[in-house]
Structure 1
C-alpha cells in the first residue's frame, strides 16, 4: 500500500456523486427532524455555493475562507464548495470567542467569515462586530439563520442563490491546500496547520484500509467538524469510501442513541468521554461495530465495560492535527493490548522512541515519541521554521510526547514535554491562559496544570500565589476575568488552588510536576506532602 500515491478524496467523492447520486450522503441530527441529503443533492448544493463564492465574493484558489459553523449539512456543503474552487477551508470551533477568533482571522488573512446567527444561545454577529476593527483583511461576513435549516427552504445566507458556473478550471491538484486548522500552541500562539489534498488522502487510505471501512458502513461524527477528529475521521472518511455520514452538532446521549439504533451507525472515532458517556448511560445503545477512542489510552476497566455494554469492538488510537492517525488498535488484537495502549503503527507509517541525543531506545524504555508518515502536514502558516524545528534530519516528526513501545509494537504515551492540558481530546493552551491571568491584579504568580478526571482524562487546575494586599480570587472570579477577555469557556480552569509560593528549580523554572502530584494526591484524598 503506497500511501503517498493514495487516490485523492475529491476524486473518490466525485465518482460516488456520478455513479450513486441517490445514495444517502448526510444524515443531520442537529435540527429536530433528521435532515437527509443524497450524494447527488450534496454535489448540487456544493456547486451552487462554490459558484457564489467565486462570482459574488471573488474567492481565489489558495485563499483561506474562515467559517464558524456547527456540525451539519451547511458546514459540509460549504467545505465541499471550497474544495471545488481550490480554496482552503479554515473552520473554527463554534465554542471559540473574541480572543481566539481574532487571532485566527488575523493569521489566516481571510476576507470572508461565515457564521450562524445564534448557536447554543450565543449570538455571533455582535462578537464579530466587536473585533471587526482589528481585522483589516475582513471584507464580508455571511450570517446563516439557524431557524431555517431545511435545504429546501434555506438559502444559506444567500450562498445558494445565483447561477452555477463551470468549475472545471478550479479543480484542485494533489499539492493544493485542503485545510487550515489551528492547534493550541505551547508558546501562547496557536499554530496554523496546513495539509494538502494528497496528505489527507494518504491519511484516509491508511485509515479506511486498516479499519476495513466500506460504502456499506455508516460513519457517525459526534465530534465537531471544525476539529480534525470530526473533519477527517467523520466527514472525509465517509466521503472517501462513499458511505453515509451521521452528524450531530451538540453532544447528547439520546441523539447518539438515535444515530446508532435508528440510523444504523457502524463506526465512530471520537474522544474517550463520548465512549464513557455511552457506556454509563441507562440502557447503552447497541449496533456499533467499532469505536476508536482517541485523546488518551482507554482504561482497562472502561474497555471491558464498553465491549459488554455496547457489544462492539473498542480500540485506542494516536493521532494529531499534524500527523493524522498513526497508531490504532485492530479488533483482532489481544484484549489486554487494546486496553491501556494507543494501538500499533499503521502500515506505511513509522514510529520510534529516541533519547535526547536522537538514539533509538530499546522496547519498553521511555523516550521522545517521533513519527514519519506520508500523511504529514506540509507547513505551519507563517512559521515554516517551526515545521523545520519539529522534524529530525531523516524526516521524523517530534510529537512533543513521551512514550514507550512494548515488545509487541504497541504504543503507550507516558507524558508530555509540551505544556498542554488534554481535556477530553481538546488541547488547552496553558501559556496563553497563564499570560492572561498574570494581568489579574490579585495574582502574583500562576501555573496551570493538568489534574486527573475520570471522564475527560484531564481538566485544568490553576495554582495561584496571591499578590500582597489582595484577597485570593475564587474560581468564579477567575473565569469571569477570562470570559471578559474573550477566552473560550472550554479553556477556563475548573479548580483553583492557593499556595504561598511556586516550587521552582534552581534556575527559576516552575516545577509543574510537583503541582500535578499535589493535585492528584488531593483528589485521591491523600494529605499534601
Structure 2
C-alpha cells in the first residue's frame, strides 16, 4: 500500500490541491469517514488488495488473451514505473483515447498506481473534443490505440501535441510503434518487476486526491470535466458491487466503452474489486460478441439498444447461451429484456457526477418493471424540486427536478465556476436536470425517471449535448440558424435531428455533406445529425423564444406519418399481388 500513513492518518483534506478542482468540504468528508462510507484508501489500494486476494483467478478475458489478477498486478506495476521513468509525475494528467482492450485496463490501473490522473475520452473523439479536454486539463501525455485501420491516431496525437503546449509524450498501446510515440509493450518489457516495485514504493498516493477526470455530456457547450476522487470512487464501486451482489465467480459482459463512468464505476471497476472475470469486447461484430458468450458464459451483462439488436438473431436462434445469466442491466426496458432472454433484468439510473440508482430482485414488481429503484448507498440523499427553484416537493407521485448529495457525488466541475453556480443548490446538492417522482412502498422510497430538463440527446447511452452540436453546425456556410433535438428511434432510443433555416441563395446540406463538414471540423461521428429538416422559420413560444418541444413534436409527427405511409404502401403492394 503506497498511501502515506503518517501524512493521512489524521488529515481530512487533500495534501496538494489541484487548481480548478472543487474538493469536498472537510466537515462532509469527516462525517462520511466516521460513518464508515469513505476510508483512507486510494483506488489503487483497493485494487492491489483485490489483486492479491484473487491472484490466481481470471481478471481479463477475450480475444486479446486472458490475464490473471497476479499477471494484471505485475504488468500494471511495470507499466506504472515505466511511466514514471518516462518523466511523468503525480498528479500529471493523461488523455486516454483507447478503444476497449486489455491495454486500456492496464494503462488505467498503472496510472492510478503511479498517481497519474486519466482523462476519460472516447476513441471516437477528434480535434474538437480532444483539443479542448487536453488543453483544459493541461494533460502531459496522450494514450492512443495505434492499430485502428480507419484512423491514424498516432498522427492525430502528434497534431494535438503541436497545438497543446503541455502534451509532451505520446504512448501507443498496440501495433508497431511509429512516429514520436512510445510503445506500451516495449516500456513494460524494459522495466523489471523488482525495479518497478521499488520505484512505486516511493510514490505517495492521497485518498483525498483526484483519481480520474471523468467526462460529462454536459448541458451547455462542450463536455465538462468531472473530478472523481480516490476514496469516493472506491466507495462508489464497492457500493455498486455490494448492492448487486457481485461475486468472484461472476463473469461480466459489458461491451460499451470502458472509459465511460457506467462501465468504469458500475461494471469493470467493481468487478476488479470483487475478483470476477471481465470479458473485454474489442470487436463489436455480432459474431465476436456471440463467440465471447459461448466461450466465457457471462453471468452479468449490460444490454440494450444497438447491442441487443445486434445479438437478437443469435438469442432467438439459441446460438447465444443466456440461461446462465444472473442478471441483465439496462437503463430501460427490463420487462422486454426478461421476455426476450428469460433471465432476470433490472434498471439502472445514474450520472458521472455521482448518484446511482438500481432495481433488484427484492424490490416490488412494479418497481422492477417501471421504475429505477433506489440509490445503491444508504448515504445518498435525493431531493426533488419544482423546476428552476429550490422549493422541495414532498408529495408522492409529483414530478420534480432531482438533486443529489452523498459520499460519491461531486461538489463542482473542473475549472467551470459559472457552470457550478448554476448547477448546485445553496445546500450543495447537485442538480442533475433529470425529472423524477417517488413512491413510498412498504416503508421504502423508490424513484421513477420521468424525463429531462437538460438539452441532450441520449443516443444508445451516449449523451450528446445539443448546444455543442448546434454551435458547430451553425458554422456551415449555408446555415443561418439551427436547432438540434432528439428524434425517437427504436434501436438507439434517440438519434440527432438538426432543424435549420438556410441562408438566402444556399441549399441546405445533405446529411452526408454535413457529416463531411463536421469531420473536417473534428467532431466525433456519433454526434453528427442523422436527419436534417429545413424550415422557413422556427416555432416560438408566447414569449418569443425558440420552442424545442414544438420542434420535437414536428419530427415525431413526421416519423409517424412516414411509418403510416410505409405500412399503407406495403398493404397495397400485397393487395395487388
TM-score by length of 1: 0.90
For the pair 1:331 / 2:331, whether they are aligned, the reply is no
Match of 1:313 in 2: 344
1:141-165 CA-to-partner distances (Å, cap 9, x unmatched) read: 12233379xxxxx852534423433
Match of 1:351 in 2: 382
462 and 219 in structure 1: CA distance in 2 versus 1, 3 angstrom threshold: same
Match of 1:421 in 2: 457
1:167-197 CA-to-partner distances (Å, cap 9, x unmatched) read: 1231423212111122233321210100011
CA contact (8 A) 1:113 1:140 kept: yes
What aligned pairs does 1:81-92 form with structure 2 within 5 A after superposition?
81-92=110-121
For the pair 1:268 / 2:298, whether they are aligned, the reply is no
2:325 aligned to 256, 280, 288, which one?
288
| Secondary structure class of the residue paired with 2:415 | coil
In 2: Cα distance, 1:98 partner to 1:107 partner: 13
1:454 aligned to 487, 490, 508, which one?
490
Higher-Rg structure is 2
- Could you tell me how far 1:352 is from its partner in structure 2? 2.4
- Could you tell me how far 1:385 is from its partner in structure 2? 4.9
Moved more, 403-412 or 228-237: 403-412
Match of 2:211 in 1: 178
Match of 1:109 in 2: 138
- Could you tell me how far 1:113 is from its partner in structure 2? 0.9
1:102-130 CA-to-partner distances (Å, cap 9, x unmatched) read: 11111111111121223252211222233
Match of 1:40 in 2: 70
What aligned pairs does 1:115-514 form with structure 2 within 5 A after superposition?
115-119=144-148, 121-146=150-175, 156=185, 158-163=187-192, 164-165=195-196, 166=198, 167-269=200-302, 272-279=305-312, 281=314, 282-283=316-317, 284-286=320-322, 287-294=324-331, 297-298=332-333, 303-325=334-356, 327-348=357-378, 349-356=380-387, 357-361=389-393, 362-387=395-420, 389-408=422-441, 409-514=445-550
345 and 20 in structure 1: CA distance in 2 versus 1, 3 angstrom threshold: closer
Match of 1:151 in 2: none
Aligned residues: CA RMSD: 2.4
359 and 277 in structure 1: CA distance in 2 versus 1, 3 angstrom threshold: farther
In 2: Cα distance, 1:88 partner to 1:155 partner: 17
CA contact (8 A) 2:241 2:271 kept: no
91 and 345 in structure 1: CA distance in 2 versus 1, 3 angstrom threshold: closer
In 1: Cα distance, 2:563 partner to 2:170 partner: 54
260 and 502 in structure 1: CA distance in 2 versus 1, 3 angstrom threshold: same
In 2: Cα distance, 1:135 partner to 1:519 partner: 41
- Could you tell me how far 1:28 is from its partner in structure 2? 3.1
1:32-58 CA-to-partner distances (Å, cap 9, x unmatched) read: xxx0011111111111111111112x2
| Secondary structure class of the residue paired with 1:178 | strand
| Secondary structure class of the residue paired with 2:370 | coil
- Could you tell me how far 1:97 is from its partner in structure 2? 1.2
Match of 2:56 in 1: 22
In 2: Cα distance, 1:423 partner to 1:443 partner: 24
CA contact (8 A) 1:46 1:78 kept: yes
1:365-385 CA-to-partner distances (Å, cap 9, x unmatched) read: 111111222111353221255
In 2: Cα distance, 1:218 partner to 1:145 partner: 25
For the pair 1:67 / 2:67, whether they are aligned, the reply is no
CA contact (8 A) 1:93 1:226 kept: yes
- Could you tell me how far 1:430 is from its partner in structure 2? 1.2
CA contact (8 A) 2:96 2:121 kept: yes
Equivalenced residue count is: 511
432 and 16 in structure 1: CA distance in 2 versus 1, 3 angstrom threshold: closer
CA contact (8 A) 2:75 2:188 kept: no
Match of 2:21 in 1: none
234 and 304 in structure 1: CA distance in 2 versus 1, 3 angstrom threshold: closer
In 2: Cα distance, 1:324 partner to 1:236 partner: 16
Match of 1:54 in 2: 84
In 2: Cα distance, 1:98 partner to 1:468 partner: 31
1:344-374 CA-to-partner distances (Å, cap 9, x unmatched) read: 2334122221114323221111111112221
In 2: Cα distance, 1:277 partner to 1:381 partner: 37
In 2: Cα distance, 1:262 partner to 1:99 partner: 39
| Secondary structure class of the residue paired with 1:107 | helix
Moved more, 264-273 or 440-449: 264-273
411 and 275 in structure 1: CA distance in 2 versus 1, 3 angstrom threshold: farther
Q: Which runs of 5+ in 2 are unaligned?
A: 1-34, 178-182, 565-577
- Could you tell me how far 1:388 is from its partner in structure 2? 5.0
| Secondary structure class of the residue paired with 1:379 | coil
Match of 2:561 in 1: 525
Moved more, 190-199 or 171-180: 171-180
TM-score by length of 2: 0.83
- Could you tell me how far 1:334 is from its partner in structure 2? 3.4
